[in-house]
């Protein structure tokens, strides 16, 4: 096999003495796709970026060998390095919305690459730009070239970003979490595109935290944690027969395709990130599955709810004749792309948004629409867990203050008692009592989400509305949180409305799943069967996306 486009030997990166990458060695051959899998803080991105000399401010990068297409990168003078960047090595970052200059048309961004690495004239550049856009599968390139990231859909702009990445006809493409911000169906498309690149002989170094993403495209998978590579092999090997415990945990943590009630999280000592987080134990073993009891009481009913927003001149239908029922110990998974009206539905359930038509009843009595005052007394019955936990806490309040506030809800309670209840509460969500004195800002993502769950539990709710409760979390942390939610549901007979764009999560957590598109429920049924034979084309697309 020919000279690999990338060869790394004993790469080490440290920031001010703190070592984040240690002794990483890998090769990427032309026409090969190598994937590094790991969670945030594992050092995978830093390793990849140091290939471009972009490890970051104040990074010390050493390696016995670090060559791109035979050319050593380390100590390369600025100009040469810049020719390498974008020329020999293309870079594709995550979330084009921010990775492309939001103020400039995507065409310009591609044109810049061309201007830097080709000697094409302006006219020729324009031509090439359109070609590239066509190449990455964008319809109507002339229009797209003139549009800005904000005006493109997630998939479109990610494709545009790729176009900009490959414009310099690089021999190696580094894709850092290229699909993370995208809805699953779109992800598939983008991954297919990367696959094509590889087939054309470009070397691809794919960075991702999501095993399911890697699976389809990668020829070889490297698992990374705490700055070291712990496992290497073909996807099949790594996923079917993981050797290293961390890999095991990681694989175990993937919710997709795991039956309802299966414990996902691994024992704490193995979990690299979020070590403090986990209090539960007994990994891997399937816990008792929920007994399917039809007699469980109906808690919340949604009847033909409709909500329309008037933005400027045009109307946006966020919810249209949405109806469903929430039962105790049952989870309804509400899935759909971003903008499909999931969150609006949640807000209506929470009584934050009045429906234009239809109604919501709680325990048989009207809940929404109602004047806020009439609702207030029964507010404790409905709890909410928000997607972005951090911004759902007043930045000036400590965790203790947040919980105390939620516990008392204006009633005057003896401080000692509040304190005790807080400790108790933190215990239930698996946090140390001392967390109470810290500010959310200084907690890890997982801890924050646990705190917001704790807040949701104050006042013994019957219904919890979970709006993307885990989408911001790493897979292993996500596993722990999901387990926690599962446990709580069974302990407290809670009814869940689980809103997520991640079908894997939905399938794992839900008894029933409703597929939402443009505000309408287009498909619904038992989690087990809903995707067996989807009727609606959109549902079908979703199904294809999650099929391993």
Partner 1 sequence: MSGVGRSGAGRRAAGFRPTVAEALAGLVLVLLLVAAIWPGLLAPGDPLAVSRTEAFQPPSLAHVFGTDESGRDIWTRVVHGAAESLRIGALATAIGIGLATVLGLLAGLGPRWLDFGTTRLVEVLFAFPGLLLALLFIVVTGPGVLSSTIAVGLATAPGYARIIRSQVRRTASAEFVEAARVLGRGRVWIVTRHVLPNVTAALFVLATLGLGQAVIWVSSLSYLGLGAVPPAAEWGAMLAAGRTYIASFWWMTFFPGLAIVAAAAAATVLGRGIQKRNRSAS
Partner 2 sequence: MPGTRRWLLLRAGGVLFVLWASATITFFALRLVPGDPAEAILGGPGSQAGPEALEQVRREYGLDRPLAVQYLTYLGRLVSGDLGQSYSLHKPVATAIGEQLGATLTLAVCALALAWVLACALAAWSVRGGRVAWAIGSGLELVAAAVPHFWLATVLILLFSTTLGILPPVSVPGPLGVVLPALTLAVPLAGFLGQVMRESLLTAMESPFVTTARARGESEVRIFWRHTLRHAAIPAVGLSGWAFGSLISGAVVVEAVFARQGLGRSLLSAVQLRDVTLVTGIVLVVALAYTVMTLVTDVADRLVDPRTRAVAR
> How many residues make contact with partner 1 (CB under 8 A)?
32
Q: For residue 326, which of 311, 346, 306 has the smallest C-alpha distance?
A: 346
Question: Residue 410's binding partner, choosing from partner 1, partner 2, none, with beta-carbon cut-off 5 to 8 A by kind?
Answer: partner 1
How deeply is 423 buried, as exposed, middle or buried, from its count of CB atoms within 10 A (0-12, 13-18, 19+)? middle
Side-chain-side CA neighbours of residue 384 (13 Å): 17
* Residue 441 Cβ vs partner 1, minimum distance, rounded to whole Å: 6
- Give the contact letters, 425-464, x = binds to partner 1 (CB under 8 A), - = no: --------------x-x----------x--x--xx-----
Residues whose CB is less than 8 angstroms from the CB of residue 10 and which lie 6 or more positions away in sequence, other chains included:
23, 24, 25, 62, 63, 64, 65
Toward partner 2, which CB reaches closer, 122 or 374? Answer: 122
Side-chain-side CA neighbours of residue 451 (13 Å): 33
Toward partner 1, which CB reaches closer, 255 or 351? Answer: 351
Question: Residue 8's binding partner, choosing from partner 1, partner 2, none, with beta-carbon cut-off 5 to 8 A by kind?
Answer: none
Toward partner 1, which CB reaches closer, 246 or 393? Answer: 393
Toward partner 1, which CB reaches closer, 304 or 354? Answer: 354
- CA dihedral over 443, 445, 447, 452, signed as positive or negative: positive
Place of tokens 């050493």: 62
Q: Considering the rule CB under 8 A, would residue 391 count as an interface residue with partner 1?
A: yes
Question: Residue 98's binding partner, choosing from partner 1, partner 2, none, with beta-carbon cut-off 5 to 8 A by kind?
Answer: partner 2
- CA dihedral over 227, 231, 235, 238, signed as positive or negative: negative
Q: Which of 50, 202, 392, 447 binds partner 1 (CB under 8 A)?
A: 392
Toward partner 1, which CB reaches closer, 433 or 459? Answer: 459
Question: Residue 117's binding partner, choosing from partner 1, partner 2, none, with beta-carbon cut-off 5 to 8 A by kind?
Answer: partner 2
SS3 of the chain: helix, strand, coil, percent, to 5: 40, 25, 35
Q: Which of 406, 429, 435, 463 binds partner 1 (CB under 8 A)?
A: 406
Question: Residue 103's binding partner, choosing from partner 1, partner 2, none, with beta-carbon cut-off 5 to 8 A by kind?
Answer: partner 2
- Which tokens is 459 given? 């006042």
Toward partner 1, which CB reaches closer, 339 or 380? Answer: 380
Q: DSSP alpha helices (H): ranges in 149-284?
A: 154-166, 184-199, 211-217, 235-240, 245-253
d(CA 94, CA 325): 37
Q: For residue 218, which of 200, 240, 201, 198 has the smallest C-alpha distance?
A: 198
- Give the contact letters, 19-58, x = binds to partner 1 (CB under 8 A), - = no: -------------------------------------xx-
What size, in residues, is the chain? Answer: 548
d(CA 306, CA 354): 9
Toward partner 2, which CB reaches closer, 86 or 336? Answer: 86
* Residue 389 Cβ vs partner 2, minimum distance, rounded to whole Å: 22
Residues numbered 166 to 205 that lie near partner 1 (CB under 8 A) are none
Question: Residue 455's binding partner, choosing from partner 2, partner 1, none, with beta-carbon cut-off 5 to 8 A by kind?
Answer: partner 1
Q: What pairing do the DSSP bridges indicate for beta strands 331-335 and 495-500? A: parallel
Toward partner 1, which CB reaches closer, 377 or 412? Answer: 377
Q: DSSP alpha helices (H): ranges in 40-121?
A: 44-50, 78-84, 96-99, 106-117
DSSP assignment of 310-368 equals: EETTEEEEEEEEEEEEEETT-EEEEE--TTSSHHHHHHHHTTSS--SEEEEEETTEEEE
Q: Considering the rule CB under 8 A, would residue 18 count as an interface residue with partner 1?
A: no
Residues numbered 358 to 387 that lie near partner 1 (CB under 8 A) are 372, 375-377, 379-380, 382-384, 386
Interacting residue ranges for partner 2, rule: CB under 8 A = 49, 52, 54, 78, 82-87, 89, 91, 93-95, 98-104, 109, 112-113, 116-117, 148, 150, 161, 164, 168, 174, 311-313
* Residue 55 Cβ vs partner 1, minimum distance, rounded to whole Å: 12
Longest Cα separation, the chain: 77
Question: Residue 312's binding partner, choosing from partner 2, partner 1, none, with beta-carbon cut-off 5 to 8 A by kind?
Answer: partner 2
Q: Which of 98, 352, 374, 413 binds partner 1 (CB under 8 A)?
A: 352
Residues whose CB is less than 8 angstroms from the CB of residue 528 and which lie 6 or more positions away in sequence, other chains included:
none
* Residue 373 Cβ vs partner 1, minimum distance, rounded to whole Å: 8
Toward partner 1, which CB reaches closer, 382 or 498? Answer: 382
Cis peptide before 369 (omega within 30 of 0): yes
Toward partner 1, which CB reaches closer, 60 or 241? Answer: 60
Question: Residue 489's binding partner, choosing from partner 1, partner 2, none, with beta-carbon cut-off 5 to 8 A by kind?
Answer: none
* Residue 169 Cβ vs partner 2, minimum distance, rounded to whole Å: 13
- Which tokens is 200 given? 């054309």
Q: What pairing do the DSSP bridges indicate for beta strands 65-68 and 6-15? A: antiparallel
* Residue 43 Cβ vs partner 2, minimum distance, rounded to whole Å: 17
Question: Residue 164's binding partner, choosing from partner 1, partner 2, none, with beta-carbon cut-off 5 to 8 A by kind?
Answer: partner 2
Question: Residue 112's binding partner, choosing from partner 2, partner 1, none, with beta-carbon cut-off 5 to 8 A by kind?
Answer: partner 2
Q: Which helix (H) or strand (E) holds 234?
A: none
Residues whose CB is less than 8 angstroms from the CB of residue 465 and which lie 6 or more positions away in sequence, other chains included:
346, 349, 350, 382, 383, 384, 385, 497, 499
Q: For residue 389, which of 442, 452, 454, 447 has the smallest C-alpha distance?
A: 452
Q: Considering the rule CB under 8 A, would residue 405 count as an interface residue with partner 1?
A: yes
Positions that interact with partner 1 (CB under 8 A) = 56-57, 350-352, 372, 375-377, 379-380, 382-384, 386, 388, 391-396, 405-406, 409-410, 439, 441, 452, 455, 458-459
């Amino acid at each position: 096999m020919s000279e690999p486009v990338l060869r790394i030997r004993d790469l080490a990166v440290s920031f001010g003495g703190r070592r984040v990458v240690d002794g990483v060695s890998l090769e990427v051959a032309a026409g090969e796709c190598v994937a590094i899998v790991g969670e945030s803080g594992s050092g995978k991105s830093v390793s990849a970026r140091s290939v471009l000399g972009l490890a970051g401010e104040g990074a010390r990068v050493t390696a016995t060998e670090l060559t791109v297409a035979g050319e050593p990168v380390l100590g390369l003078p600025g100009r040469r390095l810049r020719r390498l960047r974008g020329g020999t090595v293309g870079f594709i970052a995550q979330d084009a919305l921010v990775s492309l200059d939001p103020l400039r048309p995507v065409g310009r961004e591609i044109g810049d690459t061309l201007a830097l690495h080709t000697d094409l004239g302006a006219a020729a550049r324009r031509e090439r730009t359109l070609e590239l856009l066509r190449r990455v599968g964008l319809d109507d390139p002339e229009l797209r070239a003139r549009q800005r990231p904000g005006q493109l859909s997630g998939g479109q702009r990610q494709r545009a970003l790729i176009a900009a990445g490959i414009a310099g006809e690089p021999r190696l493409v580094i894709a850092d979490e290229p699909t993370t911000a995208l809805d699953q169906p779109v992800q598939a498309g983008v991954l297919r595109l990367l696959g094509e690149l590889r087939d054309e002989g470009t070397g691809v170094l794919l960075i991702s935290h999501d095993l399911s993403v890697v699976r389809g495209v990668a020829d070889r998978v490297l698992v990374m944690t705490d700055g070291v590579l712990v496992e290497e092999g073909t996807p099949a090997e790594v996923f079917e027969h993981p050797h290293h415990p961390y890999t095991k945990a990681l694989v175990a943590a993937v919710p997709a395709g795991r039956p309802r009630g299966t414990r996902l999280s691994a024992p704490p000592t193995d979990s690299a990130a979020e070590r403090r987080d986990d209090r539960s134990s007994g990994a891997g073993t399937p816990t008792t599955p929920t007994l399917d009891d039809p007699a469980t009481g109906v808690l919340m009913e949604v009847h033909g709810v409709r909500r329309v927003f008037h933005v400027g001149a045009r109307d946006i239908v966020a919810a249209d004749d949405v109806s469903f029922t929430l039962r105790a110990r049952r989870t309804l998974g509400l899935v759909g792309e971003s903008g499909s009206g999931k969150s609006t539905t949640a807000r209506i359930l929470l009584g934050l948004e009045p429906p234009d038509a239809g109604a919501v009843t709680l325990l048989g009595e009207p809940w929404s629409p109602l004047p806020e005052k009439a609702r207030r007394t029964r507010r404790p019955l409905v709890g909410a867990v928000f997607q972005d936990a951090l911004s759902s806490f007043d930045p000036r309040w400590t965790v203790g203050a947040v919980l105390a506030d939620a516990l008392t809800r204006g009633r005057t309670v003896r401080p000692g008692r509040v304190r005790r209840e807080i400790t108790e509460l933190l215990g239930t969500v698996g946090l140390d009592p001392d967390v109470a004195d810290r500010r959310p800002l200084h907690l890890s993502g997982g801890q924050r989400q646990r705190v917001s769950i704790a807040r949701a539990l104050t006042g013994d709710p019957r219904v919890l509305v979970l709006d993307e409760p885990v989408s911001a979390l790493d897979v292993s942390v996500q596993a722990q949180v999901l387990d926690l939610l599962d446990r709580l549901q069974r302990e407290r007979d809670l009814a869940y409305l689980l809103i997520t764009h991640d079908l894997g999560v939905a399938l794992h957590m839900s008894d029933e799943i409703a597929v939402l598109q443009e505000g309408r429920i287009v498909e619904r049924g038992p989690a087990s069967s809903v995707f067996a034979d989807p009727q609606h084309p959109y549902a079908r697309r979703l199904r294809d996306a999650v099929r391993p």
